[in-house]
Amino acid sequence: MTQLNLFPDFAQPPKTKALHDHEPPQKFEVIYTDPPWDYDGRTFLDGKAHDTGAASDHYPTMTPEELMELPVKDFLADKCICFMWTTGPQLDISIDVLKAWGFKFKTIAFVWDKVVTNPGYYTMSQTELAIVGTHNAIPTPRGARNVKQFYKEQRGRHSAKPHEFRKRIEQMFPDQTKLEMFQRESKPGWYAWGIDAVGQNIVTIPRLEDPSLPRNANIPQVMWPIPF
């Protein structure tokens, strides 16, 4: 993970130009994430990035240990729910990461049929899974209940997930503060965090970007990006 020296002087955050008319929330009730899973450093021998290739061919990946060390607990609301994308080979590891972040694994929330199959060690792979966990309890008030778990849509660019799943989460939790981690762009009604994220509601979460920051540093947990 890239280490950013955001604040050399921990006593006071620097004065920066305001990008928005309000500060982002410091706690979130809904977390939606597609972690950059590292598949034991697997990549292609020819060094070329293929659409169906290893994640490391397309973006920086993180080991399970690195993901588990992320201080996600810092910005969880008292009642919070997390939807996390994973794959069959990573299922047990994903549950470990979910628990390390402060959530209790509950069930498989979504199943995405990508239409196109990939060769597998045991069966032909055609789906991805999103597991769900809660921190203390499901946030309230609730919106729609029991939205459909299954969705079929042909895959697009590498790792991109259909917007339909985000819509289903919005139906279930229309009024909650929502953060999408490892996102490439912000969506209406969502805050987003990611190394290559763009858009109005992109936030900086200092301790996710630099875990070495002291716990007592006078730095907000969540803030708008610094205008470099």
Per-residue pLDDT of the chain (228 residues; tens, 9 = 90+): 544 444 444 434 444 334 455 789 999 999 999 999 987 654 433 444 444 444 444 458 999 999 999 999 999 999 999 999 999 989 999 999 999 999 999 999 999 999 998 888 899 999 999 999 999 999 999 999 989 999 999 987 656 899 999 999 999 999 999 999 999 888 999 999 998 788 889 999 999 988 888 887 788 899 987 654
Tell how strand 28-33 and strand 178-181 pair up.
parallel
The pLDDT score that the predictor gives to residue 59 is: 52
The answer to whether the predicted template modeling score (pTM) of the entire model surpasses 0.75 is: yes
The pLDDT score that the predictor gives to residue 58 is: 41
Residue 21's φ and ψ, nearest 5 degrees, are: -90, 5
CA–CA separation, 34 and 78 (whole Å): 22
The pLDDT score that the predictor gives to residue 167 is: 97
Query: What topology does CATH give the domain 28-42+49-209?
Result: Rossmann fold (3.40.50)
The pLDDT score that the predictor gives to residue 55 is: 46
The pLDDT score that the predictor gives to residue 218 is: 83
CA–CA separation, 83 and 207 (whole Å): 21
The pLDDT score that the predictor gives to residue 158 is: 56
